[in-house]
């Protein structure tokens, strides 16, 4: 059984990496990897971490690329790849434009599609945009749906997907997180390298400062939201008991707003985008996280880190229900209030830190491979 894995961004690669390793170790399954490089540098970092050598690389990334360009480039490129390698199945992950366009290319070639991380929904096509539509379109094409949670499964059932075409697996990002966290904990030389890479963390500990890890990049926050979020963090940084660490996304709008509103403070550290292992290290070392990332909402609970999500909606409501995540939007006043609450109320911080992660046990990839093998034998 030849399975083509198609992905193009850092988050997709992180979540596909553990699955690819399990497929490579599985008898009777031959995995083939096509990367679109919708993101280039950040994707390559993860390929190196998991020692992934793509069989096909579309290398589509261009300066100022728009969604229309990405869609047509992936659709055309994947159509050629499918025609060349003739897979029995295509696997896509999540909600990117690569995901949707790769699924469509497989559909045009009459190749069945498996959707990893299927069934996430906010119910609002404009939030997150365009990811919510990408998910729905991919679900309409896929014939196998690997849902990370029961709630995601229920979303698919309400949309008419047959129950026997859905498998609740947990999220493969937890597989990746456990791999990375174990490497950091067990590899003394690696941990020393990471300590030396971020000397301000030990300095913060020595000064009694708690570290707030910030990430921000989503499209819906580019129109004013970033400025409000960064203003909030600049106000928070006036406290003598905190340090803010922000791996600044490569998007020029994010970088300009960060330089304008956050630069010049000795307890605000604007650093380069981090590879996955160093970012996991930063999550392990921080006190709390302020983020608009989807993946962080899934990963941080396994590390006992509260997450304040700077969005109005989330396709991951399980974390909100479990108490590991709180939606705070992009109001500067609200963000400051909720961060202060977690800094000043130790019990509130402990409650969020101890909540159970609803996204799985680190064996999602095993379950997906078992289902694919069962399909192959039928």
Residue 147 Cα distances to 130, 157, 258, angstroms:
20, 11, 36
| Residue of 12, 57, 95, 132 with catalytic role | 95
39 is catalytic: no
Of these residues, 39, 40, 135, 217, which one is catalytic?
Answer: 217
Task: Select from 23, 50, 294 the least CA-distant residue to 183.
Answer: 50
Confirm whether 131 is a catalytic residue: yes
What is the Cα 315 distance to its own chain's centre? 12
Give me the catalytic one of 12, 57, 131, 175.
131
Active-site residue flag, 326: no
Task: Spot the catalytic one: 89, 121, 209, 249.
Answer: 249
What CA–CA distance (Å, rounded) separates 287 from 282? Answer: 10
Hey, how many other C-beta atoms are within 10 angstroms of the C-beta on 222?
15
Our answer to whether residue 361 is catalytic in this structure is no
Q: Of the listed 12, 57, 117, 366, which one is catalytic?
A: 117
> Alpha carbon 152 to chain centroid distance?
16
Residue among 182, 7, 189 nearest 81 (CA): 7
Tell the residue number behind the tokens 């988050």, with chain if given. Answer: 11
Which residue among the candidates 219, 265, 371, 373 is catalytic per the annotation?
219
Strand partners, 116: 93, 146
Give the distance from CA 217 to its chain's centroid. Answer: 12
> Which tokens hold the place of 184?
């950091």
Would you say 187 and 220 are in contact if contact means Cβ atoms under 8 Å apart?
A: no
List residues bridging with 33 in a β-sheet.
5
**Active-site positions?**
95, 117, 131, 217, 219, 249
């Amino acid at each position: 059984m030849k399975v083509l894995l198609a992905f193009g961004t850092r988050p997709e690669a992180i979540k596909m990496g553990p699955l690819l390793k399990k497929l490579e170790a599985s008898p009777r399954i031959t995995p083939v990897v096509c990367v679109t490089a919708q993101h280039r540098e950040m994707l390559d970092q993860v390929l190196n971490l998991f020692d992934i050598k793509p069989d096909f690389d579309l290398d589509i990334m261009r300066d100022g690329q728009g969604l229309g360009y990405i869609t047509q480039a992936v659709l055309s490129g994947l159509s050629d790849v499918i025609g060349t390698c003739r897979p029995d199945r295509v696997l896509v992950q999540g909600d990117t434009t690569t995901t949707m366009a790769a699924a469509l290319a497989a559909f045009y070639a009459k190749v069945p599609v498996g959707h990893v991380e299927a069934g996430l929904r906010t119910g609002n096509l404009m939030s997150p945009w365009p990811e919510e539509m990408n998910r729905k379109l991919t679900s309409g094409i896929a014939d196998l749906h690997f849902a990370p949670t029961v709630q995601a499964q229920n979303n698919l059932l309400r949309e008419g997907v047959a129950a026997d075409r859905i498998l609740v697996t947990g999220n493969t990002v937890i597989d990746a997180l456990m791999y990375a966290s174990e490497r950091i904990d067990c590899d003394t030389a690696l941990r020393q390298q990471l300590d030396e890479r971020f000397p301000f963390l030990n300095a913060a500990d020595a000064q009694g400062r708690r570290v707030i890890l910030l990430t921000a990049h989503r499209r819906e926050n580019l129109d004013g939201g970033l400025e409000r979020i960064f203003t909030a963090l600049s106000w928070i940084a006036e406290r003598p008991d905190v340090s803010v660490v922000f791996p600044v996304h490569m998007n020029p709008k994010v970088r300009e707003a960060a330089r304008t509103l956050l630069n010049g403070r000795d307890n605000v550290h604007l650093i380069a985008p981090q590879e996955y292992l160093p970012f996991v290290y930063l999550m392990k070392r921080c006190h709390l996280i302020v983020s608009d990332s989807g993946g962080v909402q899934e990963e941080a609970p396994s590390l006992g880190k509260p997450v304040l999500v700077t969005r109005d909606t989330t396709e991951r409501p399980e974390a909100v229900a479990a108490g590991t995540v709180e939606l705070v939007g992009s109001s500067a006043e609200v963000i400051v209030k909720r961060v202060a609450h977690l800094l000043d109320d130790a019990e509130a911080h402990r409650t969020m830190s101890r909540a159970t992660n609803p996204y799985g046990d680190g064996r999602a990839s095993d379950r997906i491979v078992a289902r694919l093998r069962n399909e192959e034998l039928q």
